[in-house]
Structure 1
Amino acid sequence: MMKLLVTGGAGFIGSHVLEKLHAMVDRQVVVFDNLTSGSPDNVLPGMELVRGDVRDTDSLESLFASHDFDAVIHLAAQTLVPTSVADPVMDLQVNLEGILHILECCRTYHVHHVLFSSSAAVYGDNPHVPLVETERLMPSSPYGITKMTTEQYLRVYHELYGLDATVFRFANVYGERQGEKGEGGVVSIFCKLLAMGKAITVYGDGRQTRDFVYAGDIADAIIQALPLKGFHTFNVSTGKETSINDLIRCFEDAIGHSADVHYTEARTGDILRSVLSHDALKQALGIVPAMELPEGIQKTYDWYNRQEKH
């Protein structure tokens, strides 16, 4: 029996990880979440929910002392780039102080493996697409800086203390339950507006590209990596560039009619092209994200549509 701690497990990506873990009989799961953006409804039967904040060292000490964890899946984070720009100190406290509290508890209580949710934000606006893990890191936001710095802490904790660590750099993640208590990504924003019969706004001409990866595929990658030893860094992505205009066409197929689209000026600092290579993930774990975008958009839109009708 493997005993897992999932920080931020009640949130968007966490909910997909918990779904996958719930189907596995040899996993015992504890969720640690402050529920600011997560929901207790995402914590499934048989899983323990501990309400707490990664900035609170006392609650983390108590948690680790009372459990014998084999691994930590660390998803708890301040995840919004605009919030990090508006309040970089808070971003640092959650994202950097939080991971250090987790790492120190792992060191003290001999937890073997930390799996960390990083981001394509560590690359910044790099035109060398598709981006590979060895590209120079040049984040353009405080959020990206905290993710990049956490990766370095994990590498050093591996080298100094022997902690196994796996870093996942997520592309543009989408799926059910995204942004329930916040703005979310472009897919969740479009889902909400279209489910309400409203127009959607595109900043720029819609030809800017992103690499949209389904949250269930993210969860699969994390779980497949649990047995890994050493220090690893993987992009989790489809390796496919999709323009915002192509994304809208997927939505039009999902809703069965044309969308009301308003184009406006591009936002300063928005990246024009973004796509990540997943070759390293495929080579190390033998997996690639499987969800095709049209199917994933249909699943995600249908979920939002059901929420809107309730």
Structure 2
Amino acid sequence: MKVLVTGGAGFIGSHIVDQLVEKGDQVVIVDNISSGRKENINEKARFYQIDITDSDLLNVFERERPEAVIHQAAQIHVHTSVKEPMFDATVNILGTINLLEACRKTGVKKVVYASSAAIYGNPEYLPIDEKHPVAPLSGYGVSKYTPEHYFAIYRQLYGLNYTILRYANVYGLRQDPRGEGGVISILVDKYLRRESFTVFGDGEQTRDYIYVGDVARANIMALSQGDGEVFNVGTGVSTSLNEVVKRFNEIAGYENKVEYGPEREGDIKHSYFNNGKIRRVLGWQPEVTLEEGLRKTYEYYQDIYRKMDKEM
């Protein structure tokens, strides 16, 4: 199968590409390298440096004629969606419509779309299942949810199949530890630099941390299953930030200094997924435990930081 992956040079997208290549599929990557990195690009994939909002995207689809698309490219920062709502909506909503039009015009059979836990807002109950009310707290949540309606419309009007995957807190290799990265990638950076880490609140806030390799596998399984369906992708396990810090102390072999600050307004206290539906329908389940995933992530960046130190 020929699969086009948007954002295929990015954190999650590059892992999806690697698994597709390993499976023997032909892979085409579309990425503007705004947050992705060229060193993440699998050498067996064909790469186009182009933005999903660009009108030339259709030319790529006409040239490559992919059978399926995995859509990972997005504006991913909550603070950007607040400060630059037009940019956020342009990339996540209009960019997705541009992609859907290219799919429609070139006969793509299936699209797998990366949505987010951010669409749910403050949980009304836990664990969160796919029937939970949608109440985003930011423009980012809105701009990730809006395309879900477009996918349903394109299926109804044009027969374009889709599967939507709503991610929990994804972590792992290749996640950018600077800026507004995931909390785990930021923790890795702080531990390797032996810098203190600030926890906003008491540290008892909980999240569902899912390893990137497991998320990539869910995307690939969704290429051939779950048409017209929405799935939560998470472990179904609630883990506090204090517990994550404790695990890092054990992995790093020293106790890092943690400073506690005031809670940030608008932060969600507790959130984790019910993953029963994706288990039943796709036969997917997480394979990497939190301890194993944290260790893999820490050791990956430990090697990178050692090389950086040698080069300085």
TM-score bracket for the superposition, by shorter chain length: over 0.9
1-side partners of 2:263 and 2:303: how far apart?
A: 32
Query: Which residue of 204, 207, 222 corresponds with 2:204?
Result: 207
Cα distance in 2 for residues equivalent to 1:307 and 1:192: 11
Q: Does structure 1 conserve the Cα–Cα contact (< 8 Å) formed by 2:226 and 2:281?
A: no
Larger displacement relative to structure 2 (70-79 or 42-51): 42-51
Out of 215, 230, 239, the position equivalent to 2:236 is 239
2:290 pairs with 277, 289, 293, which one? 293
The 5 A counterparts of 1:132-143 are 132-143=129-140
Q: What is the 5 A alignment of 1:136-155?
A: 136-155=133-152
Within 1, Cα distance between the matches of 2:277 and 2:68? 22
Change (3 A) 1:229 1:304: closer
Aligned residue among 249, 253, 259 for 1:252: 249
Please tell me whether residue 187 in structure 1 is matched to residue 188 in structure 2. no
* Paired position in structure 1 for 2:260: 263
Q: Distance in 1 between matches of 2:191 and 2:282?
A: 37
Q: 1:128 — aligned with what?
A: 125
CA distance in 1 between partners of 2:178 and 2:298 (Å): 17
What is the deviation of 1:154?
0.7
Which residue of 1 is the match for residue 74 of structure 2? 77
| Cα shift readout 1:165-194 (whole Å, capped 9, x = no counterpart) | 100000000001101664311001111111
Amino acid across the alignment from 1:256: G
TM-score by length of 2: 0.96
The one-letter amino acid of 1:61's match is L
Whether the 8 Å contact between 1:37 and 1:181 is mirrored in structure 2 is no
8 Å contact kept, 1:201–1:262: yes
Among 87, 90, 103, the alignment partner of 1:90 is: 87
Q: Deviations over 1:196-221 (max 9, x none)?
A: 11111100000000000000000000
Report deviation, 1:95: 0.4
- AA matched with 1:231: G
| CA-CA distance at 1:74 after TM superposition | 0.4
Give the conservation status (yes or no) of the 8 Å contact 1:237–1:289: yes
Q: In the alignment, residue 38 of structure 1 is paired with which amino acid? A: G
> Partners of 2:57 and 2:118 in 1: how far apart?
28
CA drift of 1:5 comes to 0.4
**Superposed structure 1 runs of 4+ greater than 2 Å apart:** 180-183
1:83–1:91 CA contact under 8 A, matched in 2:
yes
Contact 2:53 2:95 in 1 (8 A): yes
Unmatched tracts of structure 1, length 5 or more: none
Identify the residue that residue 107 of structure 2 maps to in structure 1.
110
**SS in structure 2 of the partner of residue 268 of structure 1:** coil
Structure 1 CA distance, aligned partners of 2:305 and 2:179? 16
For 1:31, the equivalent position in structure 2 comes to 29
Q: What one-letter code is carried by the residue in structure 1 that aligns with 2:185?
A: S
* Residues in 2 aligned to 1:53 and 1:165: alpha-carbon distance in whole angstroms: 21
* 1:230 Cα deviation after fit: 2.9
* Alpha-carbon offset, residue 259 of structure 1: 1.7
The answer to whether residue 17 in structure 2 is matched with residue 18 in structure 1 is yes
CA deviation string 1:54-112 (max 9, x = no partner): 1111x201101111111110000000111111111100000001000000111111101
User: What is the alpha-carbon distance in structure 2 between the residues aligned to residue 182 and residue 150 of structure 1?
Assistant: 26
Give the counterpart of 2:97 among 96, 100, 113. 100
Partner in structure 1 of residue 48 of structure 2: 50
Deviation at 1:14, TM superposition (A): 0.8
Aligned to 1:276: 273
Q: Which TM-score applies when normalising by structure 1?
A: 0.97
The answer to whether the Cα contact below 8 Å between 2:208 and 2:238 also exists between their aligned partners in 1 is yes
CA contact (8 A) 1:37 1:182 kept: no
Say which SS state the counterpart of residue 232 (structure 2) adopts: strand
Partner of 2:310: none
Which amino acid in 2 is paired with 1:12? F
Residue 31 of structure 1 aligns to a residue in which SS? Answer: strand
The letter for the 2-side match of 1:268 is E
- The percent of aligned pairs where both chains have the same amino acid is 42
Q: Which residue does the alignment assign to 1:61?
A: 58
Question: Aligned equivalents of 2:284 and 2:224: distance in 1?
Answer: 15
Number of aligned pairs?
307
Contact 1:16 1:215 in 2 (8 A): yes
